Each structure stands twice: as structure tokens, then as C-alpha cells.
Amino acid sequence: MRVTTIIKFIKKLLRKTRSKPASTDTHHIIPRNQHKISKNDISTNALKVLNRLNSSGFQAYLVGGSVRDLMLGKAPKDFDVATNATPTQIRGLFRNARIIGRRFKLVHIIFQRDIIEVATFRSGEEEDDSNQQTNERGMLVRDNVYGSLDQDAWRRDFTVNSLYYNINDASIIDITGGVTDIHDHVLRMIGDPVVRYQEDPVRMLRAIRFSAKLHFSLAPETASPLPKLSHLIRHVSGSRLFDEMTKLYQCGEAESVQRLLIEHGLFEQLFEQTHLLLNNDAYPIKALMGNALESTDARIRDGKPVTPAFLYAILLWFPMMEKAQQLQKDEELAPLAALEKAMTHVITLQNKVIGIPKRFSQVIREIWVLQFRFNKRQGGRALHLLEHPRFRAAYDFLALRALAGDESMELAQWWTDFQEKDAYEQNVMIEALAPLPVKKPRRRRKPKILAS
């Protein structure tokens, strides 16, 4: 009990040290004539929420990424609100509101397809231990200690995400020095990065994502702890990691994300099987991943759909192939049996870190299996494969493998041409292939006649 008390006391001191670092500016207000954010750029639904909270006697501000993006001249995807109203009070003002979350209680106010997320100001102080709890690793497992705007600002992750826009006078409240960091294109963790990463290791992935997405450099004190603390990411739940990795690789800067993950020691924790093969000359893994990530970024820019299953199929392809070859050699399994066992092994091992939902792991398996059917084109096989529901994803996978040198360009080009032909021309292409080998009929043995 005494040890627990000491730990809590130390954590209080760390938070108090974090709350007012000497290196950043103190609380100040930036008037409308010193920034370029206009109410016309703010979602009408977000304005409705802000106006109702304010008119009901509460403080309410636009906060976080939307303010940051508006300052950068970008169109925000989401508009979040921070207020001193509690979740219950917020729900009482909006019939279309619902309280969500266990670790952090938030309120979602739903306007058909648009959702405005509203959070109550949080405090960094442990005044009520029942509302703020950490586990033995220092990770926050519950955090519903409410506080003031100033306390809430120091509780956020990065300075650039800690800006508050006041619709009453169109001013920006900057408590942590976020405006300066936006101008300098620097991503800086608020407070002691070591403590903040220990509280929530996912902040390491957020640092990577924002750095890549915004084209901001990581502040030295924000970047330096990453390699030493990267192992903490394995303590995060697999389902949460899957969601975070999907955001990472679908932020439109997947190539930069991959470089930063490797540079800061996070990739080896997240994809250990793949990391072990990165420098293996037997596999063109870097080329395949580079092509896939470039293609993903292009699809995001063009507004085309991207499925996580495809990227995981890319990331785990060579570990699966190596395992299949090992099983054929060591256990003398037939190729198909080795493939099935290798797929299960690699996906199961990956799931211990990042939980891939079954609806995606099944697609991964199908993309992999179809790779072995592309060479079998004679007869009706090519037409049957063309009708497979996963054909397009599998073909894209084949094309990327060919570009990386893992498959022949001739085969990929044949399938590219085949899709563009009409039925007659497709039959001509099939007939031009080498015919299927004719199987000789098995000779029936004559029964032996036993001598009487």
C-alpha cells in the first residue's frame, strides 16, 4: 500500500512538471485579425453544437485537428468540440446525442451522416482516483477527471492539436505554443514525452501519422524516446492497434509512414515476421512494399477505396512464402497443404500483436491462394478465375509482384490484356497457350488367376 502511495505521488509531480514547461509560451489569445480561420469554413453542425452549449451557459470551443487544419488552409475531415459541460449535461441538451467510451467518455452528436464529437475538459490531476486509473505499466485505463480549459490543453497530446477556436469573437486560444509549432512545421509532444508515451503507447503511432500527414518534423525530444519505448506498443490491445494501423497506412502518406516506422523502431514491434526478412536478398520485399504503398497513396488521392486486407496481404506475403517452403522441406508436405498451414501460422502469429478481423484475414487468404492460379490459364480456367469475386484484388497483387520482380511481367501483361478483350479474343488468347498435357489413361491390371 505504501509503494502504491509513493507511485501516485511521483506521478502527481510528473504531471505538475508537465503542466507548465518552461520551453513553451504561456496562455495567450490570438485575435481574428492575426489568423485566417473563418466561420464559413466550419461545419454548420459544429456551429449548431457550439451555439447551443454557449447559449445554455457552458463554455464550448472548436478544438484539435480541425483548428490545426484550418490554420494550414486544409479542409478538416472532422470537427471536434471541447466544453466544460459533463457528458450527462451534453446529452440533456441534444436528443441526437449518445455517450460512448469506457476509457474516455465522449459524446457523439449525430446529424445523419455527420457526427460531432464533444469532449469534456479534462484535468491532469488525480483528485479522484476512481475516475483516473493506470495499470502497472503506467498506461491510462480510465481517465474521466474533469477540469478547466487550461488543464485540458496540457492534457492533449501535441501542441498543434491543443488550439481552441472561440466562435463568440473568432479568436484562437493557444496555451501550449501550438501556433508557433504550426508556423515552424514541428510536431511536439506536450509535457514529458516518456511519461506521455507510457500513459498511452498509441501516441507513438499518432506522432508518426501526424508527422507524415502534415509533413512536419518531429521535435528532437518527441522523437528520441521512440526506439527505447517502441516495445510498449505490444501492450496495446490488438483491435485498437488494427484501427490505428489502418489510419496510419490510409492517411495518404503511407510511404513516409513506413519510413518513419522503420526509422524509429516501431515496425519491428508491429510486424516482426516481416522485419526479419527486410534485408534478406532472397525476397524483393522492400520493392513490393514500396510499390504497394505508392499505389495506396495514389488510390487515396483519387478517392478510390482501399481495403486493409490488401496491405496486410502485401506485408505478410514473404513471411508466408518462406514458412510454406520450410514446411515443404522439413515436414515433406505437399505444396497446397504447406500453403494452407503457412497461411494459418503467419496470420495467427501476426494476430498476437495486431488483431486482424476475420472478415479481412479471409480476404488475405483468398488473395494469396489466387496467386497460384494465375499460371493455370488453359481450358476454362482463365475465364473461371476472371469471375472470382477477389479477382481484381488478386490481379492487382500479381501486378505489384511483377513490378517487384517476384513474378514474370509476361504473366501480368497477359492478364492485363485478357481483361480488356471481348469473349472471342479471350478464347483466341487461351487457344494460343500451350495445350494442357494429355493424361494417359491408366492401364487396368489384369486380375491374377490363381492356379488350382
pLDDT at 450 over 60: no
Let me know: does 167 contact 40? Beta carbons within 8 Å: no
Give per-residue pLDDT as tens, 380-399: 999 999 999 999 999 999 99
Cβ 29 vs Cβ 172: under 8 Å? yes
Label residue 444 by pLDDT band (50, 70, 90): low
Catalytic residue among 69, 143, 152, 157: 157
The whole-angstrom separation of Cα 446 and Cα 452 is: 18
Bridge partners, residue 62, by sequence: 81, 165
Say how far apart CA 36 and CA 38 lie, in whole Å: 6
Cell numbers 483528485 correspond to: 127
Query: Residue 297 has which C-alpha cell?
Result: 497513396
Report residue 267 as a C-alpha cell: 515496425
pLDDT of residue 292: 96
Which residue in the list 78, 150, 243, 396 is annotated as catalytic? 78
pLDDT over threshold 50, residue 130: no
Question: Is residue 78 flagged as an active site residue?
Answer: yes
Degrees (nearest 5) of the Cα angle 182, 186, 192?
115
Question: Are the folds of 2-184 and 190-370 the same?
Answer: no
Sheet holding 114-120, edge to edge: 28-30, 171-174, 163-166, 60-63, 80-83, 114-120, 106-111, 97-100
Q: Is 184 a catalytic residue?
A: no
What is the spatial distance between Cα 98 and Cα 328, in angstroms, rounded to a whole number? 54
Average predicted confidence (pLDDT) for the chain? 88
Q: pLDDT (tens digit, 9 = 90+) per residue, 274-320?
A: 999 999 999 999 999 999 999 999 999 999 999 999 999 999 999 99
Mean pLDDT of 228-235: 97
CATH architecture under which domain 2-184 falls? 2-Layer Sandwich (3.30)
How do the domains of the chain map onto residue ranges? 2-184, 190-370
Task: Provide the pLDDT for residue 434.
Answer: 79
So what CATH class is 190-370?
mainly alpha
DSSP letters for 159-203:
GGG-EEEETTTTEEEESSSHHHHHHHTEE-BSS-HHHHHHH-THH
Question: In Å, how far are 386, 392, 418 from 389, measured between CA atoms?
Answer: 8, 8, 17
User: Does the annotation mark 41 as catalytic?
Assistant: no
Cell of 44: 454548420
Give residue 28's pLDDT band: very low, low, confident or very high (50, 70, 90). Answer: confident
Residue 19: the pLDDT is 38
Contact 87, 99 (CB under 8 A): yes
CA proximity to 244, closest of 201, 298, 183: 201
Q: Is the pLDDT of residue 10 over 70?
A: no
In 3D, which of 214, 222, 303, 311 has the Cα closest to residue 264? 222
